[in-house]
């Protein structure tokens, strides 16, 4: 049986890490963007050279097939590093501000100032990619990082902390791990200047409340319920393969993964005919080799998914697969839930497992309405050969991440802001917005010349001066 593997940091340990992070932040904030780009590129090179160790520790903690460690953790990390380091100068460098001609003797520009210590509170589904990617962005922007990993994937985070320290490239304590559960998360929140929380809506809400009490900025990256909307004119081969991959990659434990499929009535039967053999062909193993689908990571998930499947069965759905294959090792067969309806839990609650509920709809617009009616707004996709219609429907979906004939690969596109609308989150990681979020604007005005003369609008006031200034400012 999988066990809780975190060693709970004591309050004194958390305080010592926070103090070290603050000392490191004071040193690091004095570096230039160019220096940080150079050091952090070298850091990634050193970490990537040890990728066999990353594959091993991530597989040990999550059971994901080794190929998925490459495709879903290391590959996107490499792409993010590439985009972030090439965009850093443009995004984080000083920016001259335009000014009225009448202020011709002054200079105005915007500086981006690091926030200080960034607290990252992360989940267990992508134990390397999420902490590493956000830590990289935060450090690139000039901050130190206190990382509170999921208690279910602490080893991966500790590997990262040790591997970073072993490079000796960064000030001591710039990236450190405070391990444990909720108490450690709260300690990190209290010690940080800004929090990026990735996890469930429930915990996200309590993190937001605590952060609000301390007036600290918080980015929330929460759960979703990706609706995949398949139109009658869709390329069904690609769409059915995407449904299987979108719902079952990482054993379905992907926040943007396909959680439900709405299919227009004329192609519903054909779509299912294509789907069934593709689900049946999925290979499973615990050793990470020759496998498509691994095990679940979080023990309570197995029962929660089984309850959702029971509920669907009771309400008249046809459930194919979904058996518990190895309870001790959290291995379940992927499940197809046919003839699903909105009153089934599997259509409205996040499953976060290898489950594909399929529901017939009369028109795509009906599916858009059903999707928008829920509290989630993370990811969605539309499948059609009419790209213009697909993009119109995509625009009507209230989600932060949308695909047309694309399931869920936004995370790897560093230039694209990543995050949810409605209760799926607040703020964005990635993109210019994601890098800027780790800084604050400092607006700088420099009076260049003449050195010893007062500005016209200073005391003393008089009517002649006022008339001239009014004309200068374009007032009638
Ligand atoms: P979770 O909310 O249970 O835990 C997330 C983190 O919060 C963990 O590190 C946990 O220890 C910590 N935590 C728990 N209580 C806390 C508290 N009171 N104060 C501070 N920290 C606390 O989530 P999970 O089960 O680890 O992750 C799965 C969820 O994450 C799913 O809902 C999934 O959709 C979501 N997720 C979202 C994204 C995204 O980018 N939007 C990405 C991955 C996962």
Q: For ligand 1, is residue 349 a contact (CB within 6 Å)?
A: no
Q: Is 419 left (phi over 0), alpha (psi -120 to 50) or beta?
A: left
- Please state, in angstroms and as integers, the Cα–Cα distance from residue 362 to each residue in 343, 396, 435, following that order: 17, 18, 42
What integer pLDDT is reported at residue 5 of this predicted model? Answer: 61
What's the CA gap between 365 and 375, in Å, rounded?
A: 18
Would the CB of 199 count as within 6 Å of ligand 1?
A: yes
- Chain-centroid distance, C-alpha 297: 18
Mark whether 248 is an active-site residue. no
Average pLDDT over residues 102-131: 97
Locus of tokens 């929380």: 197
Predicted confidence band at 4 (pLDDT cuts at 50, 70, 90)? low
**pLDDT grade for 102, boundaries at 50, 70 and 90:** confident
Q: How far does the centroid of ligand 1 lie from the alpha carbon of residue 203, in Å?
A: 6
pLDDT 10s digits, 165-203: 999 999 999 999 999 999 999 999 999 999 999 999 999
- Per-residue model confidence as pLDDT tens digits over 321-348: 999 999 999 999 999 999 999 999 999 9
Which neighbouring-strand residues pair with 195? 119, 218
User: Closest residue (by CA) to atom 8 of ligand 1?
Assistant: 150
CB 80 within 8 A of CB 413: no
pLDDT at position 99: 87
- CA 223 to ligand 1 centroid distance, Å: 9
Ligand 1 neighbour 209 (Cβ under 6 A): no
Longest dimension (CA), the chain: 89
pLDDT in tens, 47-77: 999 999 999 999 999 999 999 999 999 999 9
Going by CA atoms, what residue is nearest to atom 26 of ligand 1?
123
| Residue 236, pLDDT above cutoff 90 | yes
- Atom 37 of ligand 1, residue of closest alpha carbon: 222
How much distance in Å is there from the Cα of 198 to the middle of ligand 1?
5
Q: Atom of ligand 1 at shortest distance to CA of 151?
A: 11
Query: pLDDT value at position 84?
Result: 98
Q: Are 28 and 118 in contact (CB under 8 A)?
A: no
Contacts of 340 (CB under 8 A, 6+ apart): 260, 312, 317, 346, 347, 357, 358, 359
Q: How far is the centre of ligand 1, averaged over its atoms, from the C-alpha of 414 (Å)? A: 22
Mean pLDDT of 364-392: 98
Active site residue 255: yes
The pLDDT > 90 percentage for the chain reads: 96
Residue 411 in contact with ligand 1 by CB distance below 6 A: no
Q: How far is the CA of 299 from the centre of ligand 1 (A)?
A: 14
User: Hey, how many other C-beta atoms are within 10 angstroms of the C-beta on 308?
Assistant: 25
Q: Is 185 in the pocket of ligand 1 (CB under 6 A)?
A: yes
Place of tokens 């709405």: 262
Question: What CA–CA distance (Å, rounded) separates 329 from 340?
Answer: 28
Dump strand ranges (E) for 35-80. none
**Residue 420 CA: which ligand 1 atom is closest?**
41
Residue whose CA lies nearest to ligand 1 atom number 16: 182
Ligand 1 neighbour 152 (Cβ under 6 A): no
Q: Does 3 have pLDDT greater than 90? A: no
Q: How many CB atoms lie within 10 A of CB 170?
A: 20
Residue 406 has pLDDT above 70, yes or no: yes
Cβ atoms of residues 141 and 155 within 8 Å: no
Structure confidence at residue 100 as a pLDDT band (50, 70, 90): confident
Tell me the three state secondary structure of residue 82: helix
**pLDDT computed for residue 1 by the predictor:** 43
Cβ of 151 below 6 Å from ligand 1 = yes
Are β-strands 318-321 and 335-338 bridged in parallel, bridged antiparallel, or unpaired?
antiparallel
pTM: 0.97
Task: With cut-offs at 50, 70 and 90, classify the pLDDT of residue 229.
Answer: very high
At 119 the pLDDT is 98
Answer whether 221's CB lies under 8 Å from 425's CB. Answer: yes
- Which ligand 1 atom is nearest residue 203's CA? 2
Q: For residue 413, give both structure tokens.
A: 């596109």
Q: Percent of the chain having pLDDT more than 70?
A: 99
Q: Is 183 in the pocket of ligand 1 (CB under 6 A)?
A: no
């Amino acid at each position: 049986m999988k066990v809780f593997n975190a060693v709970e940091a004591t309050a004194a340990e958390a305080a010592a890490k926070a103090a070290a992070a603050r000392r490191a932040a004071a040193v690091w904030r004095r570096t230039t963007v160019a220096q940080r780009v150079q050091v952090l590129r070298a850091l990634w090179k050193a970490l990537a050279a040890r990728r066999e160790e990353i594959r091993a520790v991530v597989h040990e903690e999550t059971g994901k097939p080794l190929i998925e460690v490459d495709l879903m953790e290391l590959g996107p990390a490499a792409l993010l590093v590439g985009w972030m380091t090439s965009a850093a100068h443009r995004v984080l460098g000083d920016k001259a501000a335009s000014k009225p001609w009448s202020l011709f003797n002054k200079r105005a520009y915007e500086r981006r100032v690091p926030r200080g210590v960034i607290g990252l509170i992360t989940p267990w589904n992508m134990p390397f990619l999420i902490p590493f990617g956000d830590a990289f962005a935060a450090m690139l922007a000039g901050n130190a990082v206190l990382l509170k990993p999921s208690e279910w994937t602490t080893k991966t985070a500790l590997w990262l902390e040790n591997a970073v320290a072993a490079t000796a490239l960064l000030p001591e304590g710039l990236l450190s791990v405070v391990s444990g559960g909720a108490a450690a998360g709260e300690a990190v929140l209290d010690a940080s200047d800004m929090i990026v929380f990735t996890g469930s809506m429930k915990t996200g809400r309590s993190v937001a409340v605590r952060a609000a009490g301390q007036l600290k900025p918080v980015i929330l990256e929460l759960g979703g319920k990706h609706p995949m909307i398949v139109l009658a004119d869709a390329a069904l081969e690609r769409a059915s393969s995407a449904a299987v991959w979108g719902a079952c990659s990482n054993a379905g434990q992907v926040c943007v993964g396909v959680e439900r499929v709405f299919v227009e009535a004329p192609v519903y039967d054909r779509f299912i005919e294509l789907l069934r053999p593709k689900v049946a062909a999925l290979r499973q193993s615990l050793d990470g080799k020759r496998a498509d689908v691994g095990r679940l990571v979080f023990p309570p998930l197995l029962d929660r998914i089984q309850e959702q499947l029971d509920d669907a069965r009771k309400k008249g759905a046809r459930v194919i697969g979904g058996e518990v294959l190895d309870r001790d090792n959290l291995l379940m067969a992927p499940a197809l839930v046919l003839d699903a309806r909105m009153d089934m839990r599997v259509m409205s609650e996040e499953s976060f497992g290898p489950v594909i509920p399929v529901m017939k709809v009369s028109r795509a617009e009906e599916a858009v309405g059903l999707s928008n009616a829920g509290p989630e707004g993370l990811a969605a996709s539309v499948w059609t050969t009419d790209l213009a219609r697909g993009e119109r429907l995509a625009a009507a979906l209230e989600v932060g991440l949308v695909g047309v004939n694309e399931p869920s690969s936004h995370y790897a596109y560093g230039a694209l802001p990543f995050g949810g609308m409605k209760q799926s989150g607040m703020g964005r990681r990635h993109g210019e917005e994601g890098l800027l979020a780790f800084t604050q604007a400092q607006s700088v005005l420099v009076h260049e010349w003449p050195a010893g003369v007062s500005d016209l609008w200073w005391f003393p006031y008089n009517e002649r001066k006022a008339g001239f200034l009014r004309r200068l400012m374009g007032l009638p």
